[in-house]
Amino acid sequence: MGIASRAAALCAVVILWAASAAAAAQLGTARLSLVAGDVQMLTEDTNEWVAAAVNTPLAEGDRLWSPEGSRAEIQVRGGVQVRVDARTALDIVDLGRESFQLSLAEGRAYLTNRKGGVDRIRVDTPYASTGIYDNSIVMVDATSGGAAVVAVIKGYAVVETRQGTTRVSAGSELRLTVDEQAEIAPIGSAHEWETWNRKRDRVLADAAESLRYVPDELDDYAADLDANGRWLYAGEYGYVWSPRVSAVVDWAPYRLGRWTWVRGSYVWISYEPWGWAPYHYGRWVFVSRVGWCWVPPSRGAAYWGPGYVGWVYSSDTVAWVPLAPGEVYYGIGFYGPFSVDITNVAVNPVVVRTYRHIHVRNAVTIIDRDTFITGRRGRSIARENPFISARVEVGPPAIRPARETRRPIDKRIAPERQPPERIRKLKPEEVRRDRRPVPGDAGSVFGPGRRPAKCG
C-alpha cells in the first residue's frame, strides 16, 4: 500500500474512532453468555444477519433470532438473565442504568431479575407490554399474531394493553388473545423449557468460591470462573485465577477468539465459555510452575474494556500481548485509571515496547493482516518479536474494518435457518416510537399523558 493510501486509510479509521468513542466506552452492559445452535444477530455494525458467538457484547438496537433447535442467554450486568428458546425473535430496545426495554416479536423468553438487580425490565409483545420488577422470574410467550402468555414464577409482573393494566402474581399466568381479551389462571405443570431454565438458574446461583476473590461488580461472572479454573495465591498479586487451560503448551490469553469491530472499537470476542470477565476486566500475569493467571480488579476499579492488551502492527502483521497489572491500556474511550484515550492523547511508544510480557514465551500473538480482518486462518508469518522491531506502528491497529471484521465468528448459516421475512421487516426504532419508556408506573407506555386503566 502506498504512503498516500495508508494515510487515507489511517484518517478514515481515526474518524471512525472519534465518532464512536462514547459508544465504545459504554459497552459491557450486556453480553451473549450462552449460544446453542444457529443463533443469529443483526447489529448497527453488521447491518445484516450473521452468526452469533458467545461473549459478544450487545447494545441498544441489536436484534437476535434463534431458529429451530437453538437457544441463547443474554447476561445483563446487575443480576439479570434473559434466555430465548427456539423460533424466537428478540430486540434490545433500551439499556438504561435502572431499567431495560426488550421487544419480543414472537417466541419464548425467560427473564430472571435477581434481588437487588434492576428496577424494571419491560418486554413488549405485539399488543402488550410487561413490566418485570426486582426479585422476579417471569416467562413471556408471544405469537406473531399478537397472542401472549405471561407466567410469573417469582415476584410479580404488570401487563399493559390498550385496554388497561393487570397485575400478575407468582403462581399465576395471564393469557392474552389476539383480540386483547385477558384471562388469569394458575400456572400449569412445568414443561421442558421451564425445567431447563430452572436448572440453569441453579448453576449460576451455586457459584461460591469466586465470590470471595472478585469485586462485587463482577459477582455475575463468578459461576464462569468456578466452573473453569481455580484460585491460588501469587505473592504481590494476591489471589489470582488460573484457567484449566493455562498449563496447555502454547496457550496464552487472547488467543482463542477474534477481534471484532463493535461500536467503534476492536473488541475481543473469546470463544472460551469463561472468556468475559478475564478478558474485559483486570490484567494477566505469568506465574512460574503455574502458567497464565488472571488478576481481578480491586473493588471500585472494575472498568470494562474491549480487551486489555498492548498492540503493534505493520503493513503485513498485527500483534498483541496481555497487559500486566499497572500497565497502560491505550484504547478508544476511557477504561479506568490505567488507560489512555487515544482520541485525545498519542500512544507512547516507549511504554508499549517495555510491556512486561513481551519476552515471555508465547505471550505475543502475531497474525497476518488478512487473518485479522477476515477472521480466517491465513498464511504463516515470521515469528520475529514485533515489539522490539523498529518497523512497526504502536497502539490499536488503524485498520479500517471490512464486512468480515464486523462478524463475531466466521460461520455460515443455511438460508432456511435465517430469520423469516416477517422478522427481517421489523424495525426496533419503530418499537421505540410505539412504546415510549416510562419511569416506574408513572403512565401508559402507549401514549404520553395517558393513565392506564386497571383491569385486574
pLDDT at 189: 87
Is the distance from CB of 257 to CB of 245 less than 8 angstroms? no
Question: How confident is the model at residue 144, as a pLDDT?
Answer: 85
The neighbouring-strand residues paired with 140 are 109, 150
pLDDT at 379: 56
Q: C-alpha distances in angstroms, 83 versus 20, 89, 140, 193, 234?
A: 29, 11, 10, 10, 37
Can you give the pLDDT at residue 2? 45
| Angstrom distances, CA of residue 328 to CA of 10, 26, 35, 284 | 23, 20, 33, 13
The helix (H) or strand (E) run that includes residue 113 is strand 99-113
Q: Give pLDDT, residue 27.
A: 85
**Alpha carbon distance 198, 202 (integer Å):** 6
Read off the amino acid at residue 284. Answer: W
The total number of residues shown for the chain amounts to 456
C-beta separation of 355 from 310 below 8 A: yes
H helices of 217-257, in order, are 222-228
pLDDT score recorded for residue 8: 46
* d(C-alpha 355, C-alpha 361), whole Å: 14
Angle subtended at Cα 211 by Cα 206 and Cα 214, rounded to the nearest 5 degrees: 145
| pLDDT at res. 3 | 42
- Report the alpha-carbon distance of residue 168 to residue 186 in Å, rounded: 10
In the chain, what is the greatest distance between 2 CA atoms, to the nearest angstrom? 73
Q: For residue range 126-137, list pLDDT tens digits in order.
A: 999 999 999 999
Instruction: Please give the pLDDT value at position 5.
Output: 44
Residue at 378: amino acid letter: G
In this prediction, the residues of the chain whose per-residue pLDDT falls under 70 are 1-26, 246-247, 378-383, 428-429, 431-443, 447-456
Of 11, 19, 8, 7, the closest CA to residue 265 belongs to 19
pLDDT at 118: 85
Ordered DSSP codes for 365-388? EEEEHHHHHH-S---------GGG
What is the Cα–Cα distance from 352 to 164, expressed in whole angstroms?
Answer: 60
> pLDDT digits over 154-198, tens only?
999 999 988 889 999 999 999 999 887 889 999 988 899 999 999
List helix spans (H) across 229-343. Answer: 277-280
| pLDDT of the residue at 258 | 96
Angle, alpha carbons 296-301-305 (nearest 5°)? 75
Q: Which residue has the cell 504481590?
A: 236
CA atoms within 13 A on the CB side of 87: 7
Nearest CA-CA partner of 391 in 315, 280, 283? 315
User: What's the first-to-final CA gap in the chain, in angstroms?
Assistant: 69
